[in-house]
Amino acid sequence: MGTELAFSQPGEADLDAILDIERSAYSYPWSEAQFRDCMGEGFETWGAFLGEQLTGYLVHWQVLDEAHLMNICVRRSYGRQGIGRQLLRHWIARMIRQGMGELTLEVRRSNRAAQALYLSEGFVHVGERPDYYPDAGKRESAIIMKLRL
């Protein structure tokens, strides 16, 4: 990558870049309204930046001592360079510092690469949500994963 990856909370000016990354990565991307809602109370968004370039982002919410990963995405041109893993580790470290007891997430059953990433970082499979994600006229189940801190 050359330049060191930096993490910071993206601002309003970064919303177009977030939407561009989201829309290029997912068949059913979040809307601008969903991202704006996640800029409110109880939510945090973190961006991974190489210089001024937003390369990826992560959105989570917190309730008491639990944090839930809602969305994590890396710009396709930066894929397979470890940015997703670094974003995930940044989030886990922040949650440890904030005294969270547990982290949770859902991942598409078909997304084996993401499941492998989460497993390698200590998450375990704890359940399933049938028909959770939209998928070309049908639904796809989500694997629920958890990490106790």
Tokens of 66: 């639990």
Residue 41 annotated among the catalytic residues of the structure:
no
Active-site position among 118, 121, 132, 140: 118
DSSP per position, 84-118: HHHHHHHHHHHHHHTT--EEEEEEETT-HHHHHHH
Helix 112-120 with 83-97: angle, nearest 10 deg: 40
Q: Residue 137's CB: how many other CB atoms inside 10 A?
A: 5
Active-site position among 22, 44, 78, 106: 106
Q: Report d(CA 33, CA 118) in Å as an integer.
A: 28
| E strand or H helix that includes residue 60 | strand 53-63
Residue 57 annotated among the catalytic residues of the structure:
no
User: Which positions are annotated as active-site residues?
Assistant: 106, 118
